[in-house]
Amino acid sequence: GAVVSQHPSRVICKSGTSVKIECRSLDFQATTMFWYRQFPKKSLMLMATSNEGSKATYEQGVEKDKFLINHASLTLSTLTVTSAHPEDSSFYICSARVSAGGGDTQYFGPGTRLTVL
């Protein structure tokens, strides 16, 4: 299957700083990528849809000014958590969509664990 990478895999930062997470599709181009967040023992929650060359679409309750998404190329989307606070500590996962004739498929990255002190 298609490969999606994330960088960094783990990050620890101080409260008030900003953190950027990269999501790359390694062997395919993705016009659409997605960002999810997962708290311990909970299911993944969709945060936003990232479309190449246009503004991201955020899910209800997700602050677009806090979680900045940029999808500048067909293989790279970035999520920046601005002014991070301890409650933003979570597991952030991206996915990239591969369109196909028999229903599209989304491939997920390995995730980034963010800890805000």
Partner 1 sequence: DAKTTQPPSMDCAEGRAANLPCNHSTISGNEYVYWYRQIHSQGPQYIIHGLKNNETNEMASLIITEDRKSSTLILPHATLRDTAVYYCIVRVGNRDDKIIFGKGTRLHILP
Summarize as ranges the residues that interact with partner 1 (CB under 8 A).
Answer: 1, 4, 6, 31-32, 34, 36, 43-46, 49, 91, 93, 95, 97, 99, 102-111, 113
Asked whether 31 and 92 are in contact (CB, 8 A), the reply is no
Q: Where are the beta strands (DSSP E) in the chain?
A: 4-7, 10-13, 19-25, 32-38, 45-51, 57-58, 67-73, 76-81, 90-98, 105-108, 112-116
Residue 75 or 111: the one with the smaller Cβ distance to partner 1 is 111
Q: How far is the CB of 72 from partner 1 (least distance, A)?
A: 19
Nearest CA-CA partner of 34 in 1, 25, 42: 25
Residue 36 or 88: the one with the smaller Cβ distance to partner 1 is 36
Asked whether 58 and 68 are in contact (CB, 8 A), the reply is no
Asked whether 106 and 98 are in contact (CB, 8 A), the reply is yes
Q: How far is the CB of 111 from partner 1 (least distance, A)?
A: 5
Q: How far is the CB of 9 from partner 1 (least distance, A)?
A: 10
Residue 73 or 99: the one with the smaller Cβ distance to partner 1 is 99
Q: How far is the CB of 16 from partner 1 (least distance, A)?
A: 27
